Structure 1
Amino acid sequence: MASAGSSPTTVMSPADREERTLPSIPAGQSGDRWFHAERDLASKRPNFKQAARGMAFLDTTTGVLVWQGGTVRLNLGRASVAEILTAVYAEAPATVERIYITAGDPWHQGAERHEFLKDAVAAWLNGPLPEGWTVEASRGRDRQAGHLVHPRNPVGRWQRGDQHTEIRSVGEWFDPEGADPATVRAAFVELWKALRPHFEDVVLMGSPSQTGRDLWSRTIPTKAGARWADGFPVMSQEIRGLLHATAGQGRTELITPPRLPERVPGWYEVDRTFAYAKHTWSSGVGVPQRITAARFAAMTEKEQTNALFAPSHWQVRVTIPKDWNHVGLLPAPAPGDRAWHYPYEGGRTFTTWAGGAEVNLALRNPIAPWRIEILDGLLWESGDPLKSWSTKLRETWQSLRAASELHGDEQQKQACRLASRAVRSILLYGIGTFAQRPRITTGSLELNTGGEVPDLPDGARLTGISDTHVRWERNQGFARDQYAHPEWAAGVWSAARAALLSVSTSSKDPQTGKPVKAGALHLPAGSILAFRTDAIYTSAPVDWEYGGEPGDYLLKGRMPWEQTTPRTDEEFYNLQGLGRQAYESEGM
């Protein structure tokens, strides 16, 4: 059982002195004042329907453009922003407001001239425009002004008078796997058709995260007298900031020599399909209670157990058993902004924050219990604000998966398969939107006549300079967002990370009749090569039966022969691709 500690101190080895220090809740009344909801701010069902936006799908490698009105092949030149806007709107009507790039990644042009890929993207987005076009200003309830500079899935927003358009990557929704623009468009059509029976107001917005949050908002209860009919309260800015700083997302870890040998006996990839849906049945609602070390120590053992199994977030001092020889169980802050690692060294002590699911896993794992001291914590009332939404998405996902296996037309089979992956993105990134990060706005300004840097907006910092423009960004803190619920995202992420280590599957043990357990801790010590959000990569054969339910492990890659242990992300992704190809070839 966990015990209460006296103060949030950390015992560090010299190698750890560069780690970030996570924030704590101030002692006494200063910290107690954090525990309130924002005044006049709660999540309520919207009383309007989103406006549908016309879409087009463009392969910038072949020049093929597809929209509702037809298919053409364009001459895009070098596929600059100016060339794309000019060519597209010479053929497509102004009612097309989103241009999804299905292949070509034109924003990576000239990447070799930039130190960082993000700089190449920013240079492409801020390139010269055709006459009459400008960077978009804010419009409507679902619009954002300016560009989103992302290294692989950027968003550019422009306008010409009353005409507005976005250029986006379809990679936000799914990997198109070489599908042509017509098949990608068919995937969006199938996605809308599959969602429609579950969400009568469904409108596909620009990204899966926007779509996910909008669909969730339409499941908020409105019946008079129903629990939370007045809306789900938004936590104080202090608690939201604490969760932003102390609740990491999916586990991403590459384990390399000397922890592993230079050569391993095989490569196996298993992935938890539609995993987050399994962790949305219970979430924290209302204003949390503060559970200090003293208050936790005063609880009975049953009360302590109930608290750890409830939706919760804990500051803990952790001591790893001296003879521990497996992977780390709890995240700890690593050097770098928002970076996390997973200490594993036997006898090590460290302080961190973790969700109740992970704390329970550390205490009750199938190998040896870790020592956990409770220093402080947030404890919520248990509710189900995400259950209806995730259930509808799960049913949509299952129907599209079935269609992708049974449809007689090969193009439609591929379209349904891509659409099912889009549903996964709606759930995955929809949950991410609840986390609410600080608002970062970006912009660009022309250099002054003599080439001097112009004055930047108040609070902005310079992020790059080209021959003609400077780029800037500004942190504007947390907005008064009625849909900000980092407690929900943190709870799902914690449960998903714990399930990577040990989870009950939908399969039953024929001897005991109990659910079969799966996860990294049920594989040999020293066999884990990597974690990637919902996936485990191991050198040991995996025989977990796939039952087709959300959260079950599905074998996706297999090479049952000796491999060189990957040391870099590039080597890892190369093996990932080879492993999937090898496994697919087995079924041919």
Structure 2
Amino acid sequence: MRPVPWHPKPIPTVWLDHKTGVGVDDSGASVQPRIGGRRKYPNLADLLDTALARGAQRLMLTGPVPDPVPGQDKHWLVVPTPQWTPLVHWLGTPPTGRFEHEVTHSRLEVRLAAEWFGTATVTPAQARAAWAATADALRASDRKAELFLSPAATGTNLWALSLPRTIDPEPLPEDVAELLHRTAGQHRIEHLTTGPAACTCGGCRPLVDLAETPRGAFAYTDGRFMYASLCRELGTGPVTRLTGPQAAELIERDPFCRARFRVRFTVPDYWDHVGLLGVQHENVRDGWHYPNVPGAGGECWADAVEVRLALDHGWTVEVLEGLSFAKGRVLDTWADRLVRARRRAAEMPGLDLPVRRATQAALRAILIQGIGAFASRGRETTRVVWSARDVPAQYAHDVRRYGEAFVYREPARGLSGNNAAYQRIELAAQVWARGRARVLSCPSALSVKLSFGAWTTVGALEVDPTTLLGINGDAIFTTSVEPWSLPTQYGGGDDGREGRLRLQGFLPDVKLPASAAERNKLREQAVAAGIDGALPHSPNASEETTTGA
């Protein structure tokens, strides 16, 4: 089941601004839009025609695109496109459109540059430059590396290139893989203020009362290229099923075992902080919550690193059964090469700041989406037709109207052949679990070894709980600046290494967020403001300190 690397041919691409249609092609030559009628700005068909005229097979759009309107069936990809037939779309996030020209039968894929670069603010020329810089950085770490249609495909193919010849990871039994798919959550997403976003299960309580503290500072801290630091010696097949006593003995004997456990837990009476173990809501579509009310509890599957963290903090944890994996270096080389690529991008001469940031963001997307792709079981597709008669009978119950268009979804099909070799849910599940544990308790340049062998850490558990606004993946939002989040030159724990939690932005006085959406807006404002206002004794921080991606 070793994955076989793909070797794609270059895809002719044009980079256009969504609003104006102005852009560049692969060579950097200027592209002007072909606008039909008497319109001032191009519509989607004009953009497709512009790309076709340059011989492109891929259209990358920069600039903001209209967001789907809640309650209204409108989407910028589902509009009339004369002479272009819509093929299989993906209307999720990020969206992808596929079209075929009715005369030439040329096919064109439409994607957003923000999928790679994390922002819509780059210009077409900057996006093209960042694309080239990303490709150069990857090839510097692996000469066979190529950029694919998506960051996820790029990441998984890089894994196939990097997998040592001596390693042939054994696939999981189907029942174990299915169990992981059902019970392994992704990164932690939790809003911790009172208000409409607060969890109402009864076992979770918000930590910041907005009635008592409506305003305050806003500090945004997150991990630098965090996932790359979590890929060491992951567990993979063969897998061994464990009874409750066997599982309890394993985690007691080997705290660093590669294993997952089904546990029943209770929050201690003295607990006044965030929850440590995640439980799925009764409606699994609502995601996960983290009970933190003393006496509350639950039952869940959790990785050994999460169970160990709860035990170390005095939680009552009963181990009911487990799965033990073999330790291997399945992702070590892959992560090392991405780290080298990122460092290469930071050192490339001649890149202006927006291009350098975009390049680092692209490498981060490859890392994060590559991990997510290991858990993929295929993707559902969206088809667009302009007559109800063209909707297959089996999908008639799921049709939505977008103006004059009829849109239906075809469910994901299972992966087979070489694609199936990339299905490694156990790898994704472990990295996600390590990430959930690491945002709570993370090593830093300030860490020291204690007398009983443990190391001091930083992270959400080291934050005053009355200041903790929320957690999103490896991001922590607080109403005060944590000294450990500062660069080492200011007495903090950020020495520039991958995996360090570091301050990304600071706002001194804002209305505190009642929802994740409000919090995300403050995050953007904080990043724009930088961290100068949080640094002691000096208003000036280095470019690397304030802008490291």
**How far does residue 359 in structure 1 lie from its aligned partner after superposition?**
0.9
- Cα 1:455–1:175 shift into 2, 3 Å: closer
Partner of 1:493: 432
The answer for unaligned runs of 5 or more in structure 1 is: 1-41, 137-145
**Quick check: 1:270–1:555 contact (8 Å CA) kept in 2?**
yes
Report 1:160-559 matches (<5 A).
Answer: 160=101, 161=104, 163-176=106-119, 178-222=121-165, 226=166, 228=167, 231-257=168-194, 259-262=207-210, 263=213, 265-296=216-247, 299=249, 303-306=250-253, 308-334=255-281, 335-337=283-285, 339-365=287-313, 369-403=314-348, 407=349, 409=350, 412-437=352-377, 439-448=379-388, 456=392, 458=394, 461-476=397-412, 478-480=414-416, 481-509=420-448, 516-544=456-484, 545-559=493-507
Picking from 25, 38, 48, the partner of 1:85 is: 48
TM-score, normalised with respect to structure 2 = 0.85
Partner of 1:157: 98
Point out the more displaced range, 484-493 or 509-518.
509-518
Q: Secondary structure at the match of 1:526?
A: helix
- Cα 1:554–1:237 shift into 2, 3 Å: same
**How far does residue 177 in structure 1 lie from its aligned partner after superposition?**
6.1
**Quick check: 2:138–2:146 contact (8 Å CA) kept in 1?**
no
**Quick check: 2:442–2:500 contact (8 Å CA) kept in 1?**
no
- Cα 1:345–1:99 shift into 2, 3 Å: same
Q: Secondary structure at the match of 1:578?
A: helix
Q: Secondary structure at the match of 1:318?
A: strand
Superposed CA deviations along residues 134-192 of structure 1, whole A, max 9, x for unmatched, are 334xxxxxxxxx111125x2100122355221110111112346232111111111111
- Cα 1:98–1:307 shift into 2, 3 Å: farther
- Cα 1:293–1:414 shift into 2, 3 Å: same
TM-score, normalised with respect to structure 1 = 0.79
**How far does residue 547 in structure 1 lie from its aligned partner after superposition?**
0.9
- Cα 1:413–1:444 shift into 2, 3 Å: closer
Counterpart amino acid of 2:307? V
**How far does residue 457 in structure 1 lie from its aligned partner after superposition?**
5.2
Counterpart amino acid of 1:517? T
Alignment partners' CA distance in 1, 2:3 and 2:284: 37
Partner of 2:81: 129
**Quick check: 1:461–1:473 contact (8 Å CA) kept in 2?**
no
Alignment partners' CA distance in 2, 1:79 and 1:242: 48
Counterpart amino acid of 2:46? E
Q: Secondary structure at the match of 1:61?
A: coil
Q: Provide the identity percentage.
A: 28
**How far does residue 310 in structure 1 lie from its aligned partner after superposition?**
1.7
- Cα 1:364–1:380 shift into 2, 3 Å: same
Counterpart amino acid of 2:498? P
- Cα 1:285–1:573 shift into 2, 3 Å: closer
- Cα 1:288–1:338 shift into 2, 3 Å: farther
Counterpart amino acid of 1:469? A
**Quick check: 2:221–2:476 contact (8 Å CA) kept in 1?**
yes
Alignment partners' CA distance in 1, 2:176 and 2:423: 11
Alignment partners' CA distance in 2, 1:310 and 1:460: 49
Partner of 2:488: none
The answer for unaligned runs of 5 or more in structure 2 is: 195-205, 485-492, 534-538, 541-549
**Quick check: 2:33–2:46 contact (8 Å CA) kept in 1?**
no
Alignment partners' CA distance in 2, 1:515 and 1:304: 19
Partner of 1:97: 57
- Cα 1:583–1:252 shift into 2, 3 Å: same
Question: Once superposed, what is the RMSD of the aligned Cα atoms?
Answer: 2.5
Counterpart amino acid of 1:478? G
Alignment partners' CA distance in 1, 2:138 and 2:370: 15
**How far does residue 568 in structure 1 lie from its aligned partner after superposition?**
1.8
Q: Secondary structure at the match of 1:266?
A: strand
**How far does residue 390 in structure 1 lie from its aligned partner after superposition?**
0.6
- Cα 1:438–1:66 shift into 2, 3 Å: closer
**Quick check: 2:145–2:161 contact (8 Å CA) kept in 1?**
no
**How far does residue 479 in structure 1 lie from its aligned partner after superposition?**
2.5
Counterpart amino acid of 2:17? D
Counterpart amino acid of 2:398? L
Superposed CA deviations along residues 277-302 of structure 1, whole A, max 9, x for unmatched, are 111012112221111214335x3xxx
- Cα 1:342–1:515 shift into 2, 3 Å: same
**Quick check: 1:307–1:379 contact (8 Å CA) kept in 2?**
no
Alignment partners' CA distance in 1, 2:406 and 2:325: 46
**How far does residue 516 in structure 1 lie from its aligned partner after superposition?**
4.9
Partner of 1:67: 25
